[in-house]
Structure 1
Amino acid sequence: MGKSNILMRHSFLALWVAFLFLFLFIVLPLTITFGIGDIEKFLDVLKTPSVLSILKFTLIQAVLSTFLAFAAGLPAAYYYSRHNNSLSSLLYYTTYIPFFLPGISMVVGFLVLLGRYGILNNFLSLVGIGRKQFLYSFSAILLGHTFYNSPITVRIVGNALKNLPAEIIEAGKVDGASKIKLFWSLEMPLIVPAVLSSLILTFSYCFTSFAVVLILGGSQYATLEVAIYMYLKLLARPEVAMGLALIQFLFIFAFGFFGTFFESRISLPIGNRIIYKGGLFSSVALLYLLFEWLPVFSGVFGSFYDFRRSRFFFDKIVNLFSAGRVEILGTSILNTIFRSLRLSLIAAFLATAISFIISWSARNSKFENISVRLTSLISISITPAILALGYIIAYRNLPPQMSMVLLYTVVSFPVVINLFHAEMASFDSAIIEAARIDGARFCQILRYIAIPLLKPAIATGFAITFAISMGEFSGSLILGSDRAPTITVAIYRMLSSKHVPEARLLSSLLVIIVLVTIFIINRLSIRVFRSKI
């Protein structure tokens, strides 16, 4: 009975923390935002030709982008799952691109690679073909989404294929089936849940895309997320922005609910991994790696080299940091960088702490799935633009920097809480029970047992939140563009004002800051983990 009462108290703690998080960070601001307007007015707005056109384009580009991203990632996923070599390791690290590397930095990499005087056009001009217009088109949007979201397929589908029991595949070989036939007739049907999960996640990212559409597509294209920003900040029509935000929230929530409902009812078989040597997909995997990493390295190289004038511009680097107040930002670059670091670190602490409390308190209880899945589903259904709109209207007296911290916490929360949820599932509860028998209290168990043993997961969750927060763009542009610009806002402002070298430099600096911080935190977590065993 004592153990049951303890679990019940902890379960209620998880529910209360989850409820307060959802209520204060999401439900209350959105209720106030959509409650102050007339629903019929919102619906009338959605019937206008311009809004219907935006909705139609958002759906079309999301469907096409999802298909292309899946098609590009599937061969790489297969190679990653069936090989254990340096190439498969590189594919694994590539899967971190959509989760860690800032979207706007990747877009800048595409500008360097595909711009009028970019790497590809310089090569075409050199071989006598002539320069082409790759950017500011629908094709550029699809290419950007394929690049940024295909690693999701590699990670989710590749892991599912890797976990398939070798016995099943060997049995298919005995019947004389080729590898291709085995893949389509045996392996693919078994990993349908993973395929659907990757498609749902990819579609959600493409549907709510912001930086790729805004910068690579140009002003003639607008998804719902971009349109919310334009109607709110540029066209001063908040009623249209609220109508678009409402329809986007309902759509993403319904889509996410379907995915969660489906995943909870189907499980994948897991067994010993089967490894192949060589294979026809080696060249395909190499081409995929080139496709994924060329924009990254192009963006870094383009931060100190001018392809149009064929010269280095190290003087721009010196001027950027030696300058005081930058007019287009209203502050200095150093202040902007330190602001981004400060806000991201605070958000990382908040998201990690809240996720840990909910996951730890809810483990092994009947409220576990409710606490974790409900908070995760609602959080993932809220895009940064919608949340920023809610904070502007509901929390208008809140300093923009505080609103941005709340926004970063919500945006990164689904990833972090699912990470902790997975770690708690494999946690040895016998250690906790032994500590309770010895008279240890809840806080003592957390301090001396749970936190030390889960430090690697805590450090990883902290790093993920920090990376997501540093690269967040749309919410930062809406909330802090005027009074508290972040580094992503500074990059966009400089691109828009033709300060291209400075924008490239800041973009590369952002990537370096994120990668170095993640590396340091993970190294520290590994060191702590090894010291405990």
Structure 2
Amino acid sequence: MSDHPRDGPARRLRRRVEGRLLTAAAVVTSAVLVVAFYYPVATVLVEAVVVDGVVTLSVFAEILRDPFYFGELARLFAGESPLAVAASLLDPDRRLGIVGFTAYQAALSTVASVALGLPAAYLLARFEFPGRRTLRSLTIVPFVLPSIMVAVGFVATFGDDGTLNAVLEALGLPPVDLLFTLEAIVIAHAFYNAPLVARVTTAAWESVDASAVETARSLGAGPTRAFFDVVAPQVYPAVLTGAALTFVFTFGTFPIVLALGGFQLATIEVFVYRLVRDLSYAEAAALAIVELVVSLGVLLSYLRYEARHSVSARGVRPLPRKPLLPSTPTPGAVLSRLGIAAYAGVAGVVFLAPIASMVLASLTGGDGALTLDHYRFLLERQRTGAAFQVRPWPAIRNSLVFASGATMLALPMGVVVAVLTTRRYRGRKLVDAAAMAPLAVSGIVVGLGLLRGLVFGVEVAGWRITVAGAVAIVVAHAVAGYPFVVRTVAPGLEGLDRSLIESARALGASRARVIRDVELPLVWPGVVAGAAFAFAISIGEFTATVVLSTGADAYTMPVAIERFIGRRLGPATAMGVVLLVVTGLSFVVIERLGGEHRGL
């Protein structure tokens, strides 16, 4: 666009700046990702192939041939016959290895999450009842709750002296022992990821065009046939999306397994942490690359599938919702309500019991009587704790400050990437995959890379550049949170009416001004929702933080809970309640500012 002849020098300069603003923002965002993510991760992963200054694949070869890591598949990598290895995989006594067990528990967790999430999506999308919007808004809260806090809640529920065994004892039933079992890990993962499945599936169900269903019914299709021929094809892509994300998240699980499974049920991430703690960096890097290959493969498949099956909701007349309690119930409606009641009971045990048990444990003493001793312990620790001890107020303050800083960094990064990945150009899929890479990379690796790079210092042109541990934590949290900003903003940008943008450009608005004055106001609920995700994820982030919080003044609430739980469960539950209140209030306040949105 040429400058108007009557434009003054200042206006022409402004037009040129605005015309290049998006490019500049993309360059800055790329530079931040290179410094804060790609370079630190590369410095760690390169140690898997560069040992003592020599390029070698010996570390990979040792891991691939080690049954401890790859189980029966290690025999295949060692050169044995594929038929013999395939036969051994059918043996009941087969060895899975750490990698195989990680994939196995992730697959079970995915099935459990989908099984719990689908009924919730059906309930929210197809029925009308008081509090439906509030319940829909709260479905994502478990997903952003700090994992270490959820682990405390599950210990308080399913432990030997937990709420579940207390209820069973009162009913005269034998106790159950779920701690340090695969079942506990799967249930905890379902607690996290079933709401995510419900969220994305509800949005898809609400986007089903009612006229298509009515057309199928008018052509003679019954309700069941119309569902499988019209509704299901529009819903199952969202189900697969939720399943793919669940598998990626649970394949890279760390705090839940560490707290509920211990090293006897360790995943790849737990062993990466253990190897890093033992200073076995080459082996840790090689194992992290194995994890990255699997997670990134699933993530790329998800992004490719999402691009092929994205459905615009513009002009769609959604299916009408049915009252949950009809005035004249039919036999079918009664059975449906009984099923919903049964699901509500299961969901109550999985979703509400851990939180309620944690709150109850924070108010219960060793003799079972109600007490505030655990909260008094936190106050006493705050007042008289030594410098090296964890105190509540610095943990709360650090969590809020770090989350605020991470949100202010993650939000513009996420918006810029969302704009770039919703434009039509060659290589867009590659940009999208590269931008989403933080979802697939181990938080331990990111934290270790930042620690050994920016925190310890990097030599650049004779200058040694270092940053404080607190700054590194903010950067790590921003890297972890900005993909969620992308996933909440991008669907809104994809669904915008392009004629509005073209009209603004035709009237002389620059690309940056169109984004600022037209696009962002229209997708503002998604932007605010992305901010809520970034803030809540930062408050609950534990994996990278536990590596970077080396100083006495850099620990957060999740790190404080982890240190408390290693000594006394009571103060850990009290600190968990504090974290629950802070996280819940932060998320609800920011979420209310944005209203409903159709993103992740």
The TM-score, its normalising length taken from structure 2, stands at 0.78
What's the CA shift string for 1:430-449, capped at 9, x where partnerless? 88788888887888878777
Give 1:506's match in structure 2, choosing from 575, 591, 596: 575
Tell me how far 1:144 sits from its aligned partner: 1.0
Partner of 1:521: 590
**Relative contact order: is structure 1 or structure 2 higher (C-alpha 8 Å, sep ≥ 6)?**
1
Partner of 1:332: 391
Cα pair distance change 1:460/1:371, threshold 3 Å: farther
Q: Say whether residues 1:95 and 2:139 are aligned partners.
A: yes
Tell me how far 1:450 sits from its aligned partner: 7.0
Cα pair distance change 1:287/1:186, threshold 3 Å: farther
Tell me how far 1:98 sits from its aligned partner: 4.2
Residue identity matched to 2:41 = L
Give 2:374's match in structure 1, choosing from 304, 316, 321: 316
User: Could you tell me whether the CA contact under 8 Å between 2:139 and 2:199 is conserved in 1?
Assistant: yes
Task: State the alpha-carbon separation in 2 of the partners of residues 522 and 75 from structure 1.
Answer: 24
Residue identity matched to 2:479 = V
Task: State the alpha-carbon separation in 1 of the partners of residues 496 and 233 from structure 2.
Answer: 32
Tell me how far 1:34 sits from its aligned partner: 2.5
Alignment of 1:117-516 (within 5 A): 117-174=161-218, 179-180=223-224, 182-184=226-228, 186-233=230-277, 235-268=278-311, 270=313, 271-274=316-319, 275-278=321-324, 279=333, 280=336, 281-290=339-348, 291-306=350-365, 309-323=367-381, 324=383, 326=385, 330-359=389-418, 366=425, 369=428, 373-395=432-454, 396-397=456-457, 398-425=467-494, 456-480=525-549, 483=552, 484-497=554-567, 499-516=568-585
Task: State the alpha-carbon separation in 2 of the partners of residues 455 and 77 from structure 1.
Answer: 24
Runs (5+) with no aligned partner, structure 1: 527-533
User: Could you tell me whether the CA contact under 8 Å between 2:69 and 2:98 is conserved in 1?
Assistant: yes
User: Could you tell me whether the CA contact under 8 Å between 2:469 and 2:550 is conserved in 1?
Assistant: no
Residue identity matched to 1:263 = E
Partner of 1:22: 33
Q: Say whether residues 1:49 and 2:108 are aligned partners.
A: no
**SS of aligned partner of 1:128:** coil
- Which is further off, 278-287 or 310-319? 278-287
Runs (5+) with no aligned partner, structure 2: 4-14, 71-96, 325-332, 458-466, 596-600
Task: State the alpha-carbon separation in 1 of the partners of residues 182 and 19 from structure 2.
Answer: 54
Task: State the alpha-carbon separation in 2 of the partners of residues 45 and 470 from structure 1.
Answer: 38
Task: State the alpha-carbon separation in 2 of the partners of residues 316 and 299 from structure 1.
Answer: 12
Residue identity matched to 1:421 = A
Task: State the alpha-carbon separation in 1 of the partners of residues 344 and 207 from structure 2.
Answer: 23
User: Could you tell me whether the CA contact under 8 Å between 2:45 and 2:288 is conserved in 1?
Assistant: no
Cα pair distance change 1:360/1:74, threshold 3 Å: closer
Task: State the alpha-carbon separation in 2 of the partners of residues 328 and 248 from structure 1.
Answer: 38
- Which is further off, 171-180 or 67-76? 171-180
What's the CA shift string for 1:202-242, capped at 9, x where partnerless? 11111011122111112311111111111112x33222211
Give the greater-gyration-radius structure (CA): 2
Task: State the alpha-carbon separation in 2 of the partners of residues 328 and 495 from structure 1.
Answer: 19
Identity %: 25
Residue identity matched to 1:276 = K
Task: State the alpha-carbon separation in 2 of the partners of residues 8 and 471 from structure 1.
Answer: 38
Cα pair distance change 1:132/1:157, threshold 3 Å: same
Tell me how far 1:336 sits from its aligned partner: 1.8
Number of aligned residues:
523
**SS of aligned partner of 2:259:** helix
Tell me how far 1:173 sits from its aligned partner: 4.1
The TM-score, its normalising length taken from structure 1, stands at 0.87
Q: CA RMSD of the aligned region, Å?
A: 3.3
User: Could you tell me whether the CA contact under 8 Å between 2:142 and 2:192 is conserved in 1?
Assistant: yes
User: Could you tell me whether the CA contact under 8 Å between 1:76 and 1:91 is conserved in 2?
Assistant: no
